[in-house]
Amino acid sequence: MSRARRASPHGRGWGNGLLLTAGFAGIAAALVVVAAQLQPDDGPAVGGPTTSSAPTGASVAGVQSATPQSVQSATPQRDAANPAAAACSGEIAATEAVVTAARVAAGHWREHVQARTDLLTAKNTEAITKAIWKRTRLAGPADQARLDAATAGQKKVVGGCQGLTSAAAPACKQRLAALTAAAATGRAASGDWAAHLAMMKAHAAGDFGAEHAQHLWVAAWQNAPKNLDAFAQADAALAKAPTCRPS
């Protein structure tokens, strides 16, 4: 199937200094291949389109997000004799699941936008860049499905920790506050990823032309640090939050 050729980008480096501004030589070398990021027909990734690779932890802003191992949570307690503890455990665990899913989605978005910067600065080759774009793009639908499912589950148990009055209550409520902040910022960063995936799909379907698609991609690349950085900071704060062991 023939596809319309994508326009070459002329985007600047990230204006807030969080990513290196591309030099003229790097831009000249990379302009002819950056548009491949929008190609929808580059074939399946190794392991299939639903395979989701874990984020590396390297932040676009140079801030490393907390890894899943750094998050300590209580396992939900199904103890009929202590319903308050069980309810709080459920809310903590469900919110942890949202943050974990957001880490994967935001991690792929981080890699996707960083790949453009690395190409423009000649840090990565065309082949490496295309491989990153392909892998992350194909993982995107599974990222969104996982986050949507976790968010739906979390909504069912909101308020679970409100009734906890034991000695564990202060620590659990501190952890829940940190989790809630990380979940909100993680969903925002993942929302940017979802919007970009939708743009690529719409462009592939012929909803708009190459010039508009390129404009949207460059704008998304330039604006990505805001939500990615906010999530990285919230996730780092979560790593320092106390463990919740409701009783």
**Cβ 74 vs Cβ 244: under 8 Å:** yes
Half-sphere exposure of 26 (CA within 13 A, CB side): 17
Instruction: Say how far apart CA 141 and CA 139 lie, in whole Å.
Output: 6
For the stretch 134-144, pLDDT in tens is: 999 999 999 99
In a domain, 198, yes or no: yes
Per the prediction, the chain carries an average pLDDT of: 77
In a domain, 150, yes or no: yes
| Arithmetic mean of pLDDT, 231-239 | 98
Six-digit token string for 140? 């995107």
In a domain, 221, yes or no: yes
In a domain, 60, yes or no: no
Q: What percent of the chain has pLDDT over 90?
A: 66
In a domain, 61, yes or no: no
pLDDT grade, residue 38 (50/70/90)?
low
pLDDT grade, residue 229 (50/70/90)?
very high
In a domain, 56, yes or no: no
In a domain, 39, yes or no: yes
Domain count, the chain: 1
Instruction: Say how far apart CA 89 and CA 160 lie, in whole Å.
Output: 8
For the stretch 136-174, pLDDT in tens is: 999 999 999 999 999 999 999 999 999 999 999 999 999
- Domain range holding 112? 24-44+83-239
Q: What is the pTM of this model?
A: 0.72
| Arithmetic mean of pLDDT, 220-246 | 97
- Measure Cα distances from 24 to 7, 27, 31, 34, 120 in Å: 18, 5, 10, 15, 9
In a domain, 12, yes or no: no
**Cβ 10 vs Cβ 100: under 8 Å:** no
Most confident of 5-9, 69-73, 82-86, 186-190: 186-190
pLDDT at 52 > cutoff 80: no
